[in-house]
Amino acid sequence: MVQPNREVATLWYKDAVIYELHVRAFHDSNADGLGDFPGLTEKLDYLRDLGITAIWLLPFYPSPLKDDGYDIADYAAIHSSYGTMSDFRRFLREAHHRGIRVITELVLNHTSDQHPWFQRSRRALPGTPWRDFYVWSDTAERYQGARVIFKDFERSNWSWDPEAGAYYWHRFYGHQPDLNFNSPRVWRAMRQVVDFWLRMGVDGLRLDAVPYLHERDGTNCENLPETHAVLKRLRQHVAARYPDRMLLAEANQWPEDAAAYFGSGDECHMAFHFPVMPRMFMSIWMEDRYPMVEILTRTPPVPDECQWAMFLRNHDELTLEMVTDEERDYMYRVYATDPEARINLGIRRRLAPLMGNNRRRIELMNSLLFSLPGTPVIYYGDEIGMGDNIYLGDRNGVRTPMQWSADRNAGFSRANPQRLYQRPIVDPEYHYETVQVEAQQRNQQSLLWWMKRLIALRKRHQAFGRGSLDFLAPANRRILAFVRRYGAETILVVANLSRYAQYAELDLSEFRGRVPTEMFGATPFPPVGDAPYFITLGPHSFYWFALSEAATEQQPPSSPTRKSRAE
């Protein structure tokens, strides 16, 4: 991979565009009804063409698949349905050849109850090292301060194991016992897992469910100092051996607690910004910038080398854990009118259905995802506006096969349709005969092409990934406006959250004399003068303006030229 300099190489995650996918759902090369690594490798050119720079792979390890692979039975192998280790290595090599990095899952908190470690632990005598691999207790009374996360499925974080004659602790499903991070052996075992994948060349690890590593009576068993100590140790280990690799925390927490996973630059490089996500959905429905501005304003600054991961949707429900009760009620009322769409504390829907399949809304949400501070993460299929199926169990409705074409099985697999791990979407509005890659590749006005242009434009400006954030405060609250600055680059983003046309007066006095240049079309707008900058926006429309010093040298607006189009 060609890298311009070391600094860019080690901070690659700051300029990245990440694409999240499940190998099972992407492309099936051997007609057995499940996606696999050879199939994914065949589709790497599609991903390069889309413009993404990193792939985040959901778990692909041997597993009973009761939690879609987050129930791991062997950390150092590939689930046989998805291919072999050499298929994985080839995929990794081919991704790297195309300049695409690969991020995999490190599920530290728990294993499957089928993992040999748990099988040994439940049979081991109390007080022995094997028994201590997991969290056992004679009573189910300890750690009462910890909430139950999968509240639709589990009533307690303790389950009784008749074989051990004791209760074991689990923050998720009962078949996912939590590892005991008080045991030095657990740390050593996990370190070996990390070495195994990083030595092979994996570029980053998403640390699943990381706030729950340690538990302590009298606390809510989340974000404990002991847990942060594990992460500091992990970071030291990684930094000493694999300097350009990245650790990404999945900590579904309020901004202050999530930011704590950066440590002082000595824990994770990245962390998901969970609370901003539902507030983006709230803002667009309420047509009011307040929810977003409020949460971003209270988000603490992050250490220099750190970065937020931003997302709209992912493989889980749209989580409503980090909102108030009123906000949750509101979100359910407007986005989950069908009760089937609700699960745990969230909504199991994809982006397009949440946006009422309205192209303008989908574009607006993506424009925010790509212009707010942080690194954007796209969920597979959302780049073509795929639909979902809320009637499938658990979160499976957002995990259906990628829609490649109008062919049988959406071009995902040549298998007998009855053999597919799940049928592709046939909802009339999102049917794979209409919503699919092949058709959208042919039509340059499609969402897919729009996403390609968005990604390409973002990648040309480091200010999006690295710049500071300053909000403007126009009187019209339906308008969200902010400035991103990095080095010589200054970018002004103005978005209309309303479904009706709006105007706003922006205080751009700081930029007096500059010519805002709309970045997609390289179109100069009137220069900033002494009066407030007056701007009108169509329904749900947005502008990205370059305000860099160089822009002042552009043609005056009276004779606009179109030197180069952004695409």
Residue 387 beta carbon to ligand GLC: minimum distance, rounded to whole angstroms: 20
**Using only C-alpha atoms, what is the Rg of the chain?**
24
In the complex with ligand GLC, the residue whose CB is nearer, 345 or 479, is 345
Residue 315 beta carbon to ligand GLC: minimum distance, rounded to whole angstroms: 6
In the complex with ligand GLC, the residue whose CB is nearer, 172 or 335, is 172
Residue 284 beta carbon to ligand GLC: minimum distance, rounded to whole angstroms: 24
In the complex with ligand GLC, the residue whose CB is nearer, 122 or 170, is 170
Q: Residue number with the shortest CB distance to ligand GLC?
A: 70
By C-alpha distance, which of 499, 482, 496, 474 is closest to 542? 496
In the complex with ligand GLC, the residue whose CB is nearer, 209 or 331, is 209
Element (H, E) at 379: strand 375-379
Strand partners, 103: 56, 204
What's the CA angle centered on 526, arms 523 and 531, to 5 degrees?
Answer: 150
Q: Is 68 a catalytic residue?
A: no
Residue 382 beta carbon to ligand GLC: minimum distance, rounded to whole angstroms: 16
By C-alpha distance, which of 48, 43, 51 is closest to 23? 43
In the complex with ligand GLC, the residue whose CB is nearer, 315 or 349, is 315
Residue 337 beta carbon to ligand GLC: minimum distance, rounded to whole angstroms: 25
Residue 152 beta carbon to ligand GLC: minimum distance, rounded to whole angstroms: 12
Question: Cα separation of 190 and 429, whole Å?
Answer: 45
Strand partners, 495: 480, 542
Sequence-ordered list of residues with C-beta below 8 angstroms from that of 229, at least 6 positions apart, any chain: none
Q: Which residues bind ligand GLC (CB under 6 A)?
A: 67, 70, 107, 172, 208-209, 250, 315-316
In the chain, the amino acid numbered 253 is Q
In the complex with ligand GLC, the residue whose CB is nearer, 17 or 108, is 108
By C-alpha distance, which of 216, 288, 302 is closest to 256? 302
Query: Residue 333 — φ and ψ, nearest 5°?
Result: -65, -40
The answer to whether residues 210 and 250 touch, using CB atoms and an 8 Å cutoff, is yes
Residue 90 beta carbon to ligand GLC: minimum distance, rounded to whole angstroms: 27
Structure tokens at 207: 């640390």
Tell me which of 250, 363, 388, 394 is the catalytic residue: 250
In the complex with ligand GLC, the residue whose CB is nearer, 313 or 315, is 315
Element (H, E) at 186: helix 184-200
What single DSSP character describes residue 299?
S
Q: Where in 35-96 does DSSP place strands (E)?
A: 54-57
Residue 234 beta carbon to ligand GLC: minimum distance, rounded to whole angstroms: 18
Q: Is 67 a catalytic residue?
A: no
Structure tokens at 542: 């947005």
The answer to whether residues 489 and 544 touch, using CB atoms and an 8 Å cutoff, is no
Residue 250 beta carbon to ligand GLC: minimum distance, rounded to whole angstroms: 6
The answer to whether residues 402 and 23 touch, using CB atoms and an 8 Å cutoff, is no
Tell me which of 208, 215, 316, 489 is the catalytic residue: 208
In the chain, the amino acid numbered 82 is Y
In the complex with ligand GLC, the residue whose CB is nearer, 36 or 67, is 67
In the complex with ligand GLC, the residue whose CB is nearer, 172 or 308, is 172
Strand partners, 246: 204
Question: What is the distance, to the nearest Å, from the Cα of residue 305 to the centroid of all Cα atoms in its chain?
Answer: 19
Structure tokens at 113: 């109850």
Element (H, E) at 484: strand 479-486
Using DSSP bridges, classify how beta strands 246-249 and 270-272 pair: parallel, antiparallel or unpaired.
parallel
Helix (H, G, I), strand (E, B) or coil at 256: helix
Using DSSP bridges, classify how beta strands 502-506 and 375-379 pair: parallel, antiparallel or unpaired.
unpaired
Active-site positions read 208, 250
